[in-house]
Amino acid sequence: MILYRYIAREILISTLAVGSILLMVIVGSRFARFLGRVASGRMSLDILGHLTLFYTPYALQLIIPLSFVLALMLTFGRLYMESEMSVIQSSGISQWQLMKLVLVLALGVASLTAFSSLYLTPKAQFASELMIQEQQEKTGFESIAPGQFTKLNKQTVFVSQLSEDKSLLGRVLIVQAEKDATTLALAERGYQQMNEESRSRFLVLEDGWRYELPDADLTSNFLEFDRYALRVGVYTPPSVREQVAMLPLNKLLADKSLPAQVELQWRLGLPSLVIVMVFIALPLTKVNPRQGRFMAILPVLLLELIFLGTLMSLQGIINKGQWPIWPGMWLVHAGFLLLGLLLCWRRGVFQK
């Protein structure tokens, strides 16, 4: 029991360490993308932290299986490198007994992955989409500051005055450059208006002038307006795939549509990936001390990335009707499981 606790502790500590690093890298990358949207005026700074937090469960469901397999390779690779595994096996502990220990840990990790993929991720994605919709209905002038040029969708905006609630612009200059023409608009005031049908966002200008600067044929136009509207934001509803990704488990089970069945296979496939990868990773942990323990990590990491990438690709292929829903993505699990069982048999893991 002491030996089992020692190995289990080493694997779990390594999983936590590797997972923390991967989580910071992946979530940090998404945070940078959100920050770019804030800088371009497409998102308010107020929801930046919330959207990053809501993205975390999605990242976790991918990071947890990868972290556990890497931790397994690092722990057993160290045991072989430092000859501890020779001592363990000489004391009567077989590879099959170690396999059973790892499978127990894998079941716990798979349960955590299932909790994230089946419950946390759809709940977080729904909350994220709801927050984005609420943001689009609010003022889009959070990034605008008086006396500064600000990029707002396809337009560059300059204002001299801005109300405290950032809903009314004073003395507005707007430049919109396109392939065929450049438009310049000057107005005494401007405000935002939402179209209820299309849910598009418009910047409405009042009491101003609009210039179309000379193009290739040196022609230009000028007009004076009392009221002029520029579309600065277009609402894009979530796709069918994104909609089913936000469904809670009970509604997903009740939905018999093709996208819902594909989404269910994806959510159940991530916990299953943890179990399958144990049969592939454990036989490959045995390394020659002269080679170094990191030599065995690369093939296992490559196989897991291929496993995960194939599942992601099959999602789109099945949704397009180019692959049957049954066996669907389970065929990938079966193929990798067969590979793992073959490796275990060749390396004598099943010998008691």
Residue 198 falls inside a structural domain: yes
88-102, 174-188, 209-223: range with highest mean pLDDT: 88-102
83 in a domain, yes or no? no
Per-residue confidence (pLDDT) for residue 201, from 0 to 100: 76
Asked whether the predicted pLDDT for residue 187 surpasses 80, the reply is yes
Least confident window among 26-30, 31-35, 130-134: 130-134
Report CA-CA distances (Å) from 345 to 24, 92, 97, 279, 342: 38, 20, 15, 10, 5
Number of folded domains in the chain? 1
Does residue 101 lie in a domain region? no
Amino acid present at 315: Q
Q: What local confidence, expressed as pLDDT, does residue 215 receive?
A: 64
User: How many C-beta neighbours within 10 Å does residue 294 have?
Assistant: 12
Q: Mean pLDDT for the chain?
A: 85
pLDDT tens track for 295-314: 778 889 999 999 999 999 99
Residue 318 lies in a domain: no
- Residue 61's pLDDT band, with cuts at 50, 70 and 90, is very high
Q: First vs last Cα of the chain: how many Å apart?
A: 18
Q: What are the pLDDT digits (tens) for 138-186?
A: 555 666 778 888 777 677 888 888 887 777 888 888 888 776 678 888 8
Domain contains 52: no
Say which residues have a Cβ less than 8 Å from residue 277's Cβ, sequence separation at least 6: 65, 69, 300, 303, 304, 307, 336, 340
Listing DSSP states for 110-162 in one string gives HHHHHHIIIIIHHHHHHHHHHHHHHHHHS-S-TT--TTSEEEETTEEEEEEEE
Structural domain includes residue 223? yes
Phi, psi of 184 (to 5 degrees): -125, 125
Rounded to a whole number of angstroms, the CA Rg of the chain reads 28
pTM for the predicted model, two decimal places: 0.80
User: Looking at residue 286, what is its pLDDT?
Assistant: 77
Model confidence pLDDT, tens digit, residues 243-262: 898 999 999 999 889 999 99
In a domain, 216, yes or no: yes
* The pLDDT of residue 291: 62
Question: Is 336 domain-assigned?
Answer: no
Put the strands of the sheet holding 221-233 in their side by side order. Answer: 149-152, 155-162, 168-177, 182-194, 201-212, 221-233
Supply the range of the domain harboring residue 154. 149-233
Q: Which of 220, 242, 30 is nearest to 130 (CA)?
A: 242
Two tokens, residue 228: 């002029």
